[in-house]
Structure 1
Amino acid sequence: MKLVVLGANGRTGRLVVREALHRGETVTAVVRSDAKRPMIKHDLLNVVVGDPCDPKFLSQVFQDQDAVISTLGGRMPTKKATSIYWMSADAITEAAWDAGLKKVAVTSSALLFPPKRLIDRFLAAIVRNVVHSANRMEQTLEKTNLDIVVARCGFLTDADETTYRAERGSLPEGGSSISRMSLAQFLVDAIQKPSSGHQVYGVSGPAA
């Protein structure tokens, strides 16, 4: 499989690149600048520099590719930072149409699920820009004819853990967090497994 990874220089994106290469996939890692190139060297890895929100750039990158995984997200919960969710979704959908790429997996927020606890409502209010932008991203992707897998997750940790739980349409019980390694495992699994349509999963770490 030929796979494009957006956000390849991020803490989750780097793990996605590493996992995909470990499984023998050919990876094109997209980064914003030469300074953000992944440190890893591999015969199956190609690194390209450009703006992941530029549909013309992505259209070139997506040529002859099978799938794309996006781990893009705002590093701060500001309106400007979180706009990367929907801006990249706009670019992905346009570029995928032009290039004939069909399968896309993206990361999103578990706060888009109906709140079960008071603290969920509280968190959603605090990071309302994240919720708004992630929701706009998902709505954009849902309107396409692409095969979409959305990974909604809670807090991301740097724990040395690769096990995950994934539940379609809801967050697994007690699933408030997941390690980045586990999320990377899920994203690569999701791309490798045959699927069609628009699928939303709640993804979390193992039950306590």
Structure 2
Amino acid sequence: MKITVLGASGRIGTLAVREALARGWHVTAVVRSPERLHVASHPRLDVAVHALGDPSLAEALQGRDAIVLAFGARDRRPTTVNADGARAVIAAAGATRFVAESAIGLTTEGDDPFTRFVVKPILGALLRNSFDDLRGMESAIRASDLRWTIVRPPRLTDGPAAGRVRFSTHGALRGGFVISRADVATFLLDAAEDTALIGETVGIARG
């Protein structure tokens, strides 16, 4: 498997790069600042230094078996990083396999009443800018010819991988409030190989 990871210097992106290498895959890690990529050099690891607007970014995206976008929800400041990342992939990668990290906060489908009417409205207000970016990303992906999967995790933790991930293509999972970044990274890679998830938006949670 030959993949590219966008957001490779982030916490989930770094874990995805390490896991992909452990699986024997060839990885191109796209970063803006190579010193922020905390992954040891490896014969199957290429580090591509690009901003999302670089025309040469296409070289790191074309000819891959899959592309993983692991920016996810960020902070409260206005941003278009996820939408820009998706558009860069769409422009360069044709109909390749594309897995993008989003956030379960974008939907109330499957939620219990308290989460739907109390938690999600507060979360949506706090992360309005980030969620607007993710909605733009998801809209661009769905309108594309990519063989895509959108993965929506809940609140992220830095705990160890549980090794078990519940998932649903019908919104959030009841009681699925947290998941470790390590489990998200693993699921992103698993989804890249799972043809049954092509064209699906998947809510995930700790198993």
Q: Is TM (by shorter chain) over 0.5?
A: yes
Q: In structure 2, do the counterparts of structure 1 residues 34 and 185 end up closer, same or farther at CA, with 3 Å as the change threshold?
A: closer
Is 1:132 the counterpart of 2:93? The answer is no
Q: Is the 8 A contact 2:151 2:188 kept in 1?
A: yes
Please say which of residues 192-201 and 2-11 is displaced more in the overlay: 192-201
Deviation string 1:73-107 (CA, Å, 9 cap, x unpaired) is: 4542211xx3111111111111113xxx5110011
Note the 1:1-208 alignment, pairs <5 A: 1-51=1-51, 53-54=52-53, 56-73=55-72, 75-79=74-78, 82-97=79-94, 102-114=96-108, 116-161=116-161, 162-195=163-196, 197-206=198-207
Please say which of residues 188-197 and 131-140 is displaced more in the overlay: 188-197
**What number of residue pairs does the alignment pair up?**
200
Question: By how many angstroms is 1:196 displaced?
Answer: 6.5
Q: In structure 2, do the counterparts of structure 1 residues 173 and 74 end up closer, same or farther at CA, with 3 Å as the change threshold?
A: closer
Question: By how many angstroms is 1:133 displaced?
Answer: 1.0
Deviation string 1:113-158 (CA, Å, 9 cap, x unpaired) is: 1262411111112211122111111000000111111111121100
TM-score (norm 2): 0.90
Once the two structures are aligned, what percentage of the paired residues are identical? 32
Q: Is the 8 A contact 1:74 1:83 kept in 2?
A: no
Equivalent-residue separation in structure 1 for 2:205 and 2:194 (angstroms) = 19
Q: What stretches of structure 1 of length at least 5 have no aligned partner?
A: none
Deviation string 1:142-196 (CA, Å, 9 cap, x unpaired) is: 0011111111112110011232111113111111111001001100100122247
What RMSD, in angstroms, separates the aligned Cα atoms of the two structures?
1.7
Equivalent-residue separation in structure 2 for 1:48 and 1:25 (angstroms) = 16
Instruction: Give the 3-state SS of the residue equivalent to 1:189 in structure 2.
Output: helix
Question: By how many angstroms is 1:197 displaced?
Answer: 4.4
